[in-house]
Structure 1
Amino acid sequence: MKGHPVYAAAADRSHWPDYPFTARWFTHAEGRQHYVDEGTGPPVLMVHGNPSWSFVWRHLIAELRDAYRCIAPDLLGMGLSDRLARPLPALLAGYQIAALDDLVRHLTGEHQVPRHGWTVVAHDWGGPIALAWACLNAELVDRVVVLNTAVFRFPQQGLPPWWFRLLRLPVISTLAAHHTPGWVQGAVRLGVTTPLPPPVRRAFTAPYRRPRDRAAPARFLRDVPLTRRDPGWALLTVVERMLPALERKPMLVGWGMRDPVLRPVLADAWQRRFPHARVLRYPRAGHYVLEDARAQLIPAIRQFLDSTGERR
């Protein structure tokens, strides 16, 4: 895999704005996983969604790394990580939870990352993955930050729009998300309310130029659980039942209210489930809330981390 274009890109990051971080790798049985590991202090685990990669965390890492150990993996099959062998796992999210646990164990066992005191930050599909890991390891987790994600079954009034439900059909997802860059390029345009500069847009989509690079994003689309027939339904039901493990953890919710897929009612659902959570709603921000509301949200996350949890 040394000749793979994602590794060539990893060697020269000058064309990715505000992403000067050293490339690090952890080898799973299925292949190498790329991750960012910056700073010192209490660990902050940042898990991206679909179709995204660790680039989405670049500004948050820059803000936190003076006082926190920022860990931002690229999910297997995504970003700069190895592509997964076909056929892909039947439930990609469940597969990623196990891989995330392996990475954390590697970091705490061999790279002096503190075992306790973790903050989990999750966006989009990173929510079910990261929060499932957090529930299973609640004794290691001090606090949680969630950004435009759902880890419970969608309320009827919060279902994604018809076009997204259509996009999940196997034939359409294969055409629109796998064989063509439509989903990847569309997400980075529709997911913000203020258009991203072209270099930033290119960086978001850089790892997904070829059809084989888009296999995991296409699979994640099909796994979105909206009905009992969907692959992710059982996982989401289990994660939903585990959420009480986090009910005493300080929680910050940052929500872009103009998300075209994850509707504003889901922010209310987080507030109902976690009455103690601080819920920040950004009326002019879209799905990529860290892009549209960067100036307000990133300082709020820093203040939340500085004022909660135990220093170890």
Structure 2
Amino acid sequence: MNSPKWLDRILYPFAHHTIELQSGQLHYVDEGQGEPIVFVHGTPTWSFVWRQQIKALSRTCRCIAPDHLGFGLSDKPMDFSYTPEAHAQNLEQLIDQLQLKDITLVVHDFGGPIGLSYAFRHPENVKRLIILNTWMWSLENEKQMMKISSFLNGRVGQFLYLNLGFSPRMLLPKGYHQKRHLSKVVHQHYLKPLNNSRNRMGTWHFAVALKESGLWFASLWEQREKLRTIPKMILWGEKDKLLPLHLLEQWQQAFPEAVVKRFEAGHFVQEEKGGEIADSIKDFI
């Protein structure tokens, strides 16, 4: 595929790869050789969010980072369900098609439940788990998040997301503790793939899924013992304004054996602490 004109090839110098799924063409990065690391993004981001880690780690490892359907350079079909469960199925197809073995799985935001779903289904193929500002349980007790998700499921919320680009324009900046990391150029790389209402369907469905996919999230949490023997590292931006800090406490209670590193950064810790996150992953591997 050809690069869009807005894509800065210095910031994002990676070759384009695609696979055909039943619902559309999925774009992914595949850089370097060695142990495979699979990076799974959330919303409203895409593989671009992992660029600093891919540049550093692809010198010694094979770095694979897909764009979910509806995000980044992947297709944005109107007839795709856009549930986290459906994205998880797509991720599994990609890993299977690339025949990746003994992967290190790096997950963030909605990429947490999406990526960890693969780990539950194929724990024998996951060598390590690296978890950044995410969850894998029902958020029904997070009253504020449930209230917002219910609102976004309505006509006004849908209008905000689809017509006004609420997620990349308003929520994304709130995910940064130090706004200097969200330069105008970087911000454009999150706005451009979501430049019209049709292309924003994925972001809206994720907002709705905070509540609507609660049963699926809960089903993942019930299986957490399957992950017990997999080495884990948690890298957490403790200035996160989008996810409450007590989610980190739930991770630590569930997996006290996990290595935990806290950073003075917001939700998009891999953007604000790019080099430190890359070094932490490299050391862990």
Q: Same fold (TM over 0.5)?
A: yes
Q: Which of 94, 98, 109 lines up with 1:103 in the alignment?
A: 94
State the distance in 1 between where 2:248 and 2:220 align: 18
Per the TM alignment, residue 54 of structure 1 is displaced from its structure 2 partner at its CA by: 0.5
What is the distance in 1 between the residues matched to 2:258 and 2:269? 18
Q: 1:45 aligns with which of 19, 33, 38?
A: 38
| Alignment equivalent of 2:132, drawn from 135, 147, 151 | 147
Aligned residue type for 2:48? F
CA-based RMSD: 1.9
Rounded to whole Å, the distance in 2 between the matches of 1:37 and 1:126 is: 18
Map Cα deviations across residues 89-130 of structure 1 (whole Å, 9 max, x no partner): 2x611111111111111111xxxxxx4210110110000100
Percent of counterpart pairs with the same letter? 29
Q: Distance in 2 between matches of 1:286 and 1:164?
A: 20
CA distance in 2, matches of 1:254, 1:160: 24
* Partner of residue 192, structure 1: 176
Write out per-residue CA displacement over residues 199-233 of structure 1, whole angstroms, 9 at most, x where no aligned residue. 111112220011100011101100113xxxxx201
Task: Flag structure 2 segments of 5+ consecutive residues without an equivalent.
Answer: none
What's the CA shift for 1:257? Answer: 1.2
Unaligned runs of 5+ in 1: 1-6, 109-114, 226-230, 306-312
Letter in 2 for 1:126: G
1:134–1:141 contact (8 Å) kept in structure 2? yes
Residue in 1 aligned with 2:107? 122
- Quick check: 1:175 aligned with 2:146? no
User: What is the one-letter code of the residue matched to 2:248?
Assistant: A
Q: Is the 8 A contact 1:116 1:140 kept in 2?
A: yes
* Number of residue pairs the alignment of both structures matches: 283
Equivalent in the alignment of 2:279: 299
Q: Measure, in 2, the Cα distance between the counterparts of 1:259 and 1:133.
A: 26
The answer for the alignment partner of 2:209 in structure 1 is 223
- 1:1-312 aligned within 5 A: 10-12=3-5, 15=8, 17-86=10-79, 88-89=80-81, 92-108=83-99, 115-154=100-139, 156=141, 160=144, 164-165=148-149, 167-195=151-179, 196-225=182-211, 231-282=212-263, 284-305=264-285
- Name the SS of the counterpart of 2:98 in structure 1: helix
Structure 1 residue 41: Cα displacement: 0.8
Q: CA deviation at 1:14?
A: 5.2
Matched AA of 1:264: L
**Alpha carbons of 1:144 and 1:160: their partners in 2 closer, same or farther (altered >3 Å)?**
farther
Which amino acid letter does the alignment assign opposite residue 137 of structure 2? F
Describe the SS at the equivalent of 2:265: coil
Structure 2 length normalisation: TM-score? 0.93
Listed one character per residue, the Cα deviations across residues 62-108 of structure 1 (whole Å, up to 9, x for unaligned) are: 1110111111000012111111223x42x611111111111111111
Aligned letter for 1:199? Answer: V
C-alpha distance in 1 between matches for 2:234 and 2:20: 32
Query: Which residue identity lines up with residue 259 of structure 1 in the other structure?
Result: D
SS state at 1:148 partner: strand
8 Å Cα contact 1:177/1:184 also seen in 2: no
